[in-house]
Amino acid sequence: MTQDLHTPDKESLIEFPCDYKLKAMGKNADTLVDCVYEITQKFAPDASKDSIELTESKGGKFVSVNITFHATCIEQIHGIYGELKSHPEVLMTL
């Protein structure tokens, strides 16, 4: 049986605490980077802008924002992904 790490009812496959890297993608704009950072900081106040890595699409129209933070529980990760998915600038999360 497989487990979905994004289902809060099930035991997590991730061992906490750990460094966790999330990815959010959207149109290439500085506001996307700020959005991802601010949402992550709500749930992980120790998240640093220095941990952000950007990868532009081939044509430069889109960007992938990767941020690594110290995660302490699965609820923290669910909170970040929940807010990112509902934000209009974020087109996809991984």
pLDDT at site 50:
97
pLDDT at site 30:
87
In the chain the domains, ranked by start, together with CATH numbers, are 18-93 (3.30.70.260)
Distance CA 43, CA 71 (A): 9
Q: The pTM is what?
A: 0.85
pLDDT tens digit string along 13-40?
899 999 999 999 999 998 999 999 999 9
Q: In a structure prediction context, what are the per-residue pLDDT tens digits for the chain, which is 94 residues long?
A: 334 444 444 567 899 999 999 999 999 998 999 999 999 999 999 999 999 999 999 999 999 999 999 999 999 999 999 999 999 999 999 9
For residue 41, count other CB atoms closer than 10 A to its CB. 16
